[in-house]
């Protein structure tokens, strides 16, 4: 396969990962399509992680660099700051406790040559360390193929370990100035959500319905399969809607401020269309908030009916009815006094 025209860097975020990082690095180094480099960003591990990485780097057939941060940056900034050091045309996120299919980059590289691809995502397998149970999870990917820009829910993301993206995405906007995370609002937007947001705005996304990474579920995971759920924090629907409203408004401003050269680097980028897409999403959130701030149960129910009639519950990317949102809003009304 002639994929030499595009290169891939692998960026790994590490912290006290000595139990798993040796197996992970072996699965990356021995890829059938070799990355041009592996960058390990470590948040001052207190176990043997750094020593293990250095010992592997000494004999690795792939250039392997470890960068020990001066302070604990957290996974969000750790990933994105390390990404800025990468030299590949594409960058693959990688968690310290994953296991890569040995053909992962070969499968991904087949799409890297397509000029309008901004990111590639794939399915994965989840391994429960306590039971040994291996389960495929698709992340909603139904078939292998290419999707046009703005094909996803504005707030959707994919697990970082399943994302490979064009390096140019990192330079479209200041990563330090990125907006608040709508799921963890006391933090800046997570690295994977940031890249998926930018990636789907400016270019095509290739989806592979192949489990190319085994994701371990174990007691020391920073996040489990539920990391994307808003239920993880206290369930305050008005506050949650405000978090989404704030983030979505900021998304619109990021799109407005994208440099003019974006349309040269990513020819499919349509600023006006993208702004309209997110403005519709913002309008829907604001209209749904009216259900929750209504003064009585009847007023809340009427707000739901009005939203149904006004198309508020139709997704902006598929125009499909969001039945769960309707059910959630009606349930809130039903529980009001």
CB-count burial class (<10 Å; 0-12, 13-18, 19+) for 246: middle
Report whether 35 contacts 65 (CB < 8 A): no
pLDDT, one tens digit per residue, over 129-168 is: 666 677 888 999 999 999 999 999 999 999 999 999 999 9
Residue 76's CB is within 10 A of a number of other CB atoms, namely 21
pLDDT, one tens digit per residue, over 9-59 is: 999 999 999 999 999 999 999 999 999 999 999 988 899 999 999 999 999
What six digits make up the tokens of 306? Answer: 């009005």
DSSP 160: G
Band of residue 73 on the pLDDT scale cut at 50, 70, 90:
low
CB-count burial class (<10 Å; 0-12, 13-18, 19+) for 99: middle
Of 284, 291, 292, which is closest to residue 313 (Cα–Cα)?
A: 284
Write out the H or E segment, with its range, that includes residue 127. strand 117-128
CB-count burial class (<10 Å; 0-12, 13-18, 19+) for 257: exposed
> Which of 126-135, 181-190, 222-231 reaches the highest mean pLDDT?
181-190
pLDDT at 289: 97
Give the SS3 label for residue 268: coil
**272 pLDDT above the threshold of 60:** yes
Looking from the CA of 167 toward its CB, the CA atoms found within 13 Å total 17
Give Cα separations from 205 to 114, 121, 166 (angstroms): 10, 7, 11
């Amino acid at each position: 396969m002639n994929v030499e025209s595009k290169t891939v860097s692998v960026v790994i975020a590490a912290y006290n990962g000595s139990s798993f990082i040796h197996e992970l690095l072996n699965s990356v180094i021995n890829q059938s399509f070799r990355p041009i480099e592996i960058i390990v960003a470590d948040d001052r591990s207190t176990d043997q992680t750094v020593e293990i990485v250095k010992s592997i780097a000494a004999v690795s057939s792939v250039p392997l660099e470890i960068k020990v941060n001066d302070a604990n940056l957290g996974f969000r900034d750790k990933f994105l700051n390390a990404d800025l050091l990468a030299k590949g045309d594409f960058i693959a996120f990688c968690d310290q406790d994953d296991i890569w299919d040995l053909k992962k980059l070969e499968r991904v590289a087949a799409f890297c040559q397509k000029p309008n691809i901004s990111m590639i995502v794939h399915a994965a397998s989840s391994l429960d360390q306590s039971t040994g149970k291996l389960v495929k999870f698709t992340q909603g990917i139904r078939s292998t193929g290419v999707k046009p820009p703005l094909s996803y829910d504005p707030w959707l993301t994919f697990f970082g370990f399943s994302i490979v993206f064009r390096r140019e995405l990192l330079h479209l906007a200041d990563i330090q100035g990125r907006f608040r995370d709508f799921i963890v609002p006391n933090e800046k937007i997570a690295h994977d959500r940031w890249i998926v947001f930018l990636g789907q705005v400016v270019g095509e996304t290739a989806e592979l319905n192949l489990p190319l990474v085994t994701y371990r579920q174990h007691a020391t995971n920073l996040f489990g399969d539920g990391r994307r759920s808003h239920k993880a924090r206290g369930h305050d629907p008005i506050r949650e809607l405000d978090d989404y409203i704030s983030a979505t408004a900021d998304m619109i401003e990021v799109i407005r401020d994208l440099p003019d050269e974006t349309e040269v680097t990513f020819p499919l980028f349509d600023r006006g269309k993208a702004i309209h897409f997110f403005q519709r999403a913002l309008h829907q959130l604001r209209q749904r908030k009216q259900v929750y701030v209504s003064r009585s149960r009847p007023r809340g129910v009427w707000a739901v009916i009005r939203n149904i009639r006004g198309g508020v519950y139709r997704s902006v990317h598929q125009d499909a009815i969001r039945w769960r949102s309707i059910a959630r809003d009606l349930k809130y009304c039903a529980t009001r006094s």
